[in-house]
């Protein structure tokens, strides 16, 4: 017999084992959910592989998961007759966490047990959950289609190492034997195991069976004996694909339990949509919106997508072809009657049916979210807090649905002046003034910078609502969403602030008068600033601030330039427009200033203040400080 080989767990695996046992102990029964789920997946994978090679069934095509326990040995055994594993696969899958985003996962752990438990649930503990209740785990497995003597036995106490040895295994598939800790004997009970399986795994498509002991013949007084019942394996689950059931036959708890099964989540979903479509396309979809964003939402390498079935035969996990990237948080299944059973990811890529299914699923999710937002405004705000920035990727990726996506957006605005993003575009439009033609917005590095920007002064005075945008993605979003409901998005920091009929005739006459009166002053300032600016002009957007800078309507905005620089992209060179408030005392005094050197210093100072207010930094801060000091000392 081959000598046993010992291996050491990878650092991440060992760390996760310790963390998981500590964090998940209060929810320890999930080990059974995870192991039954893995076993059912193994059976599904064999069924798919056998479509092209039915010899893999080895004359046994009835797939099942079996569960048994031994009180004396204090063991629970979960077995399946699914795809099984080779020796190399055992080492790869059981000896290390082969997941992208593992380092991100550990970085986000906070030490708060409730939060960490949620993160671990999102990460997907799978097989390792065995060690929550077991102090030793043995895995015996053989790959379907391989010789009986190519089996592998893996064992570990969940400490720092594990052992692997070859074995002979007549039945294909995998058998997991849990040697329970002394304080976990509650699971050595038929009723307990049945209850846990019913709670978590009732609607998986592979039947779960438990062994029923034989019952001897019973002698009755009337002479008619009750016949003996032989020992047998008995199915303890419905083993019906939940999505194939009629909605009227399902309770909320059924949907919630199934979600936890497919999403590796501890929490219930926020909402879901279950639909069966017949006609040109025949398919069933069951789509869920999680309550909380996964820790690796921004990891582009992370696989995402729906579980794909064809005629109830499992085909693949993470079929990303049926859901756009901006909806990558959606969980669920898609069961198509139109796709071929031998479909591959490559075939899905350029398939006409795939495109139609993707379009239908996308519209279904957008419709589900729209209805949810209308019915549950407060809960929708929680969803937006978790997934809003991802949804903002939508208009760039999916122009055909951009209006449906934009309807779901929420922003901060001067209507509430609150950092919480609760204002919809429809609500903004409802509050627009009678002659207002545009949706006004401002972008900034932070909410407070947007809220307190001098560019809002006139608009606040006139009671015109402005969206306060401070997410990094906002500038990029609006470059792909120029209008909504025939209302153009207009930046208050770019170009002329043309309020159209929102300005009275008296206002316009006063503006023209000021431009004439200050014309020579404006020329003097232009001469001082030279090629630092594109233009100097009188402003009509300020009421309390002496000056500001704006970008020309044809130039890139300040925020977009910052975003491109942060991404390492080349930024086109542009110069700001410098605007001065003719009603501010500093500007009035500056206009009357005869000393040319003082005029130069004060003009430069007002310009630098405006840059600092808009950009948050200066190219030469020391020059700015020296200028202030000089003026404080009297010039």
CATH classification at residue 346: 3.30.230.80
Residues 97 and 150 in one domain: yes
For the chain, 635 residues long, the average pLDDT of each consecutive 10-residue run is 77 72 74 89 92 93 96 97 95 70 62 61 70 94 97 92 95 98 93 90 87 81 77 85 91 92 87 94 96 84 87 85 95 92 79 93 98 96 96 96 98 97 98 93 94 94 95 92 95 81 78 92 96 93 92 82 78 89 95 94 95 87 91 80
Q: Is residue 57 included in any domain, yes or no?
A: yes
* 548 Cβ contact partners less than 8 Å away, ≥ 6 residues apart: 454, 455, 539, 541, 542, 579, 610, 613, 614
Residues 196 and 277 in one domain: no
Beta carbons of 48 and 314 less than 8 angstroms apart: yes
| Helix residue spans in 135-251 (DSSP H) | 190-201
Collapsing DSSP to helix, strand or coil, 331 comes out as: strand
User: Of 497, 520, 542, which residue sits at a domain end?
Assistant: 497
CATH code at position 472: 3.40.50.11260
What pLDDT score was predicted for residue 199? Answer: 82
Tokens standing for residue 25: 């102990």
Rounded-to-integer distance, Cα 217 and Cα 214, Å: 10
User: Number of structural domains, the chain?
Assistant: 4
Residues 574 and 625 in one domain: yes
CATH code at position 161: 3.30.565.10
Residues 68 and 209 in one domain: yes
* 87 Cβ contact partners less than 8 Å away, ≥ 6 residues apart: 150, 152, 164, 166
Q: Is residue 395 included in any domain, yes or no?
A: no
Tokens standing for residue 263: 């999403």
Domain residues for 322? Answer: 242-375
Question: What are the phi and psi torsion angles at 544 (to 5°)?
Answer: -120, -10
CATH code at position 536: 1.20.120.790
Q: Is residue 300 included in any domain, yes or no?
A: yes
User: Of 497, 512, 528, which residue sits at a domain end?
Assistant: 497
* R_g over Cα of the chain: 33
Rounded-to-integer distance, Cα 305 and Cα 320, Å: 4
Tokens standing for residue 466: 């402005």
Rounded-to-integer distance, Cα 129 and Cα 1, Å: 31
Q: Is residue 221 included in any domain, yes or no?
A: no
Q: Is residue 549 included in any domain, yes or no?
A: yes
Strand boundaries in 55-191, DSSP class E: 65-70, 75-80, 134-142, 151-156, 161-167, 173-180
Beta carbons of 181 and 24 less than 8 angstroms apart: no
Count other C-beta atoms under 10 Å from residue 7's C-beta: 15
Beta bridge partners of 75: 70, 179
Residues 48 and 192 in one domain: yes
* 446-480 residues labelled b (16+ CB within 10 A) or e (exposed): ebebbbebbbbbbbeeeebbbbbbbbbbbbbbbee
Residues 30 and 164 in one domain: yes
Residues 577 and 601 in one domain: yes
Measured CA to CA in angstroms, residue 457 lies from 62, 425, 453, 498, 584 at distances of 74, 22, 8, 14, 13
What pLDDT score was predicted for residue 2? Answer: 66
Burial class (CB in 10 A: 0-12, 13-18, 19+), 108: middle
Residues 551 and 628 in one domain: yes
Tokens standing for residue 262: 């497919």
Residues 512 and 493 in one domain: no
Q: Is residue 459 included in any domain, yes or no?
A: yes
User: Of 203, 235, 267, which residue sits at a domain end?
Assistant: 235
Q: Is residue 526 included in any domain, yes or no?
A: yes
Q: Is residue 399 included in any domain, yes or no?
A: no
Rounded-to-integer distance, Cα 322 and Cα 237, Å: 30
Residues 98 and 18 in one domain: yes
How many residues appear in the chain? 635
Residues 51 and 198 in one domain: yes
Residue 582: DSSP 8-state = T
What pLDDT score was predicted for residue 341? Answer: 76
Residues 78 and 184 in one domain: yes
Collapsing DSSP to helix, strand or coil, 342 comes out as: coil
- Closest to 492 in 3D by CA, of 522, 472, 469, 509: 469
DSSP β-ladder status, 547-550 and 577-580:
antiparallel
DSSP string, 86-114: -HHHHHHHHSS---TTHHHHHHH--S-HH
Rounded-to-integer distance, Cα 419 and Cα 416, Å: 9
């Amino acid at each position: 017999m081959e000598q046993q080989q010992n291996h050491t767990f990878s650092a991440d695996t060992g760390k996760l084992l310790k963390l998981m046992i500590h964090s998940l102990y209060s929810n320890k029964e999930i080990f059974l959910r995870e192991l039954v789920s893995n076993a059912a997946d193994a059976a599904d994978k064999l069924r798919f592989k056998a479509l092209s090679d039915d010899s893999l069934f080895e004359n046994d095509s009835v797939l099942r998961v079996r569960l048994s326990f031994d009180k004396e040995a204090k063991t629970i055994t979960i077995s399946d007759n699914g795809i099984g594993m080779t020796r190399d696969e055992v080492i790869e899958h059981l000896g290390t966490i082969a997941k992208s985003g593992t380092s991100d996962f550990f970085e986000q752990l906070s030490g708060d047990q409730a939060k960490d438990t949620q993160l671990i649930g999102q990460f997907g503990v799978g097989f390792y959950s065995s060690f929550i209740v077991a102090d030793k785990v043995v895995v015996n497995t053989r790959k379907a289609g391989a010789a009986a003597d190519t089996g592998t036995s893996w064992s570990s106490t969940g400490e720092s190492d594990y052992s692997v040895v070859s074995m002979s295994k007549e039945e294909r598939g995998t058998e997991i034997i849990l040697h329970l800790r002394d304080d976990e004997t509650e699971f050595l009970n038929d009723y307990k195991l049945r209850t846990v399986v019913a709670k978590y795994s009732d609607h998986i498509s592979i039947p779960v069976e438990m062994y029923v002991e034989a019952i001897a013949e019973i002698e009755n007084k009337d002479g008619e004996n009750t016949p003996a019942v032989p020992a047998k394996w008995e199915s303890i689950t419905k083993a019906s694909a939940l999505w194939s059931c009629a909605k009227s036959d399902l309770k909320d708890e059924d949907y919630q339990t199934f979600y936890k099964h497919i999403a590796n989540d501890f929490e219930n979903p926020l909402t879901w949509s279950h639909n069966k479509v017949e006609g040109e396309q025949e398919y069933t979809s069951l789509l869920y919106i999680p309550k909380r964003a996964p820790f690796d939402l921004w990891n582009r390498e992370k696989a995402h997508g729906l579980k794909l079935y064809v005629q109830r035969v499992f085909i693949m996990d993470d079929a990303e072809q049926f859901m756009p990237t901006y909806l990558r948080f959606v969980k669920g299944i898609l069961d198509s009657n139109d796709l071929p059973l031998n479909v591959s990811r490559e075939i899905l890529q350029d398939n006409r049916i795939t495109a139609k299914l993707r379009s239908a699923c996308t519209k279904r999710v957008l419709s589900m979210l729209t209805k949810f937002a209308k019915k549950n405004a407060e809960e929708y705000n929680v969803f937006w807090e978790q997934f809003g920035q991802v949804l903002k990727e939508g208009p760039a990726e999916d122009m055909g649905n951009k209006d449906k996506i934009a309807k779901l957006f929420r922003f901060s605005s001067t209507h509430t002046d609150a950092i919480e993003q609760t204002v919809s575009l429809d609500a903004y439009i409802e509050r627009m003034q009678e002659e207002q033609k545009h949706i006004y917005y401002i972008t900034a590095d932070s909410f407070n910078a947007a809220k307190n920007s001098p560019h809002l002064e006139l608009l606040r005075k006139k009671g015109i609502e402005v969206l306060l945008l401070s997410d990094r993605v906002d500038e990029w979003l609006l470059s792909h969403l120029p209008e909504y409901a025939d209302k153009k998005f207009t930046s208050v920091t770019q170009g002329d602030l043309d309020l159209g009929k929102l300005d009275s005739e008296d206002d316009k006459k006063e503006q023209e008068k000021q431009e004439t009166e200050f014309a020579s002053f404006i020329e003097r300032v232009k001469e001082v600033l030279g090629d630092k600016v594109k233009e100097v002009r009188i402003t009509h957007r300020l009421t309390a601030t002496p000056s500001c800078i704006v970008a020309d309507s044809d130039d890139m905005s300040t925020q977009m330039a910052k975003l491109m620089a942060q991404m390492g992209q080349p930024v086109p060179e542009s110069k700001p427009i410098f605007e001065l408030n003719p009603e501010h005392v500093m500007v009035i005094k500056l206009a009357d200033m005869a000393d040319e050197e003082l005029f130069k210093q004060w003009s430069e100072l007002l310009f630098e203040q405006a840059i600092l207010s808009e950009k948050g930094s200066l190219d030469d801060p020391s020059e700015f400080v020296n200028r202030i000091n000089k003026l404080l000392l009297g010039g």
